[in-house]
Amino acid sequence: MSHSTSEAHLEVMRRIVKLYEEAFDHDGHAELKIDIRFLRRGQKEVVLHSGKQYRFVLDFPRFGRQLSELLMTPVDAPADLAPPR
C-alpha cells in the first residue's frame, strides 16, 4: 500500500472520528451516514453525511488485511481510543 493511499484512508478515518465526536456531543438527535461507491480506474468515492457532506476519492487496490492493520494503528488518537494490545 502506498504512503499516499495510507494517508488518504487515515484522513477519512480522522474525519469519521471527528464527526462521531460532534454527533455524540450534540444536545439532540444526530445522524452519521457513510456512502461508498465504486468509481472507474480502481477508485472508490466515500461520502460522509452529517448535516454536511464530506467527499473523498480513494484508490482501491485489493487490500486484504493491510487496510484493517492500518486502521487499527493509533494515529494522533487519545489513549482511550487506542486499540487494546
pLDDT digits (tens, 9 = 90+) for 38-81: 988 888 999 999 887 778 888 877 655 565 566 665 555 555 55
pTM metric for this prediction: 0.60
The answer to whether 45 touches 37, Cβ cutoff 8 Å, is yes
Is 57 within the bounds of a domain? Answer: yes
Specify if 14 maps to a domain: yes
Evaluate whether residue 85 is within a structural domain. no
Domain that holds residue 66: 3-73
Task: Write the pLDDT tens digit of every residue in 66-76.
Answer: 655 666 655 55
Count how many Cα atoms sit within 13 Å of the Cα of residue 11 in the half-sphere of its side chain.
Answer: 13
- Do 33 and 23 contact (CB within 8 A), yes or no? no
Cell 465504486 sits at which residue? Answer: 38
Q: How many domains does the chain have?
A: 1
Does residue 68 lie within any of the structural domains?
yes
